């Protein structure tokens, strides 16, 4: 109840908001600092410091789907010295959220296989701040949280002017759309580059169905095992 009252107060504090937007597409840029995640200096020398990809968020007042924007000219390869070819791969994940039923379905790719993870949507432990700034013409407020597992700080900027409580990747459950996220002081940054309000096509908010059903716990264990065996999404091939 306290959280609901706080959110209502925030919305009220904006006074006269623009007419709330209910449906459309947001283009996000995801920028990963690859070097910040590595301790091996020889690996750093073989790959670019930043990995930038484009994603789209389809949304209405109650649902959203976030997925990779595929381009024909995408090139996932970078060459290193000594006959070493570095291939950076980006999984074609799809993240579906239903904020009315509190349901989420994640389609995630791993090692060429697709997995479906059904779970309940949980409210994230955001702490609301008093700072504000404009992003793409929308007044945004600051919220922060700490990932209990990694202890990384996450900063989000959201706007009540877009009523859907969604955002890029896994981030959401704030009283408005998240337009920017900064994980661990620049390790990963998500930025809204374009916001289009329009009637969506019937399949734009389609729940993903392709893939092997797996529990969140089993998928997490698979990821942890993969990382423990030097998995990083980077394939190294020697000529």
Instruction: Give DSSP secondary structure letters for 111-157.
Output: TTEEEEEEEE------EEEEEEEEETTEEEEEEEEE-TTT--EEEEE
Each residue of 25-55: pLDDT tens digit? 999 999 999 888 777 777 777 788 888 999 9
- Band (pLDDT 50/70/90 cuts) for residue 5 is very low
Q: What percent of the chain has pLDDT over 70?
A: 79
Cα–Cα distance list, 157 to 27, 75, 135, 136 (Å): 16, 31, 9, 12
| Phi and psi angles of residue 187, each rounded to the nearest 5 degrees, phi first | -65, -45
* Rounded Cα gap, residues 225 and 229, in angstroms: 6
When mean pLDDT is compared across 56-60, 162-166, 234-238, the lowest value belongs to 234-238
Any idea what DSSP says for residue 168?
A: S
pTM to 2 decimal places? 0.83
Each residue of 163-198: pLDDT tens digit? 999 999 999 999 999 999 999 999 999 999 999 999
N-terminal to C-terminal alpha carbon distance within the chain: 61
CB atoms within 10 A of CB 106: 21
């Amino acid at each position: 109840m306290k959280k609901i009252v706080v959110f209502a107060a925030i919305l009220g504090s904006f006074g006269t908001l623009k007419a709330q937007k209910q449906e459309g597409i947001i283009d996000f840029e995801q920028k990963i600092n690859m070097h910040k995640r590595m301790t091996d200096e020889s690996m750093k020398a073989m790959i670019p410091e930043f990995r930038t990809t484009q994603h789209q968020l389809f949304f209405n007042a109650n649902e959203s789907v976030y997925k990779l924007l595929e381009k024909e000219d995408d090139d996932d390869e970078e060459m290193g010295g000594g006959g070493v070819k570095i291939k950076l791969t980006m999984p074609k994940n799809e993240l579906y959220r239903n904020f009315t039923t509190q349901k989420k379905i994640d389609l995630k790719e791993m090692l060429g296989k697709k997995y479906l993870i059904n779970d309940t949507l949980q409210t994230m432990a955001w702490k609301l701040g008093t700072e504000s700034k404009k992003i793409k013409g929308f007044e945004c407020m600051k919220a922060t949280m700490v990932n209990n597992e990694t202890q990384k700080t996450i900063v989000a900027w959201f706007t009540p002017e877009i009523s859907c409580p969604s955002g890029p990747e896994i981030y959401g459950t704030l009283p408005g759309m998240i337009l920017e996220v900064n994980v661990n002081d620049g390790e990963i940054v998500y930025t809204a580059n374009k916001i289009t309000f329009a009637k969506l096509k019937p399949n734009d908010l389609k729940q993903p169905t392709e893939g092997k059903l797996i529990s969140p716990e089993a998928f997490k264990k698979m990821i942890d095992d993969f990382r423990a065996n030097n998995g990083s999404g980077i394939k190294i091939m020697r000529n």
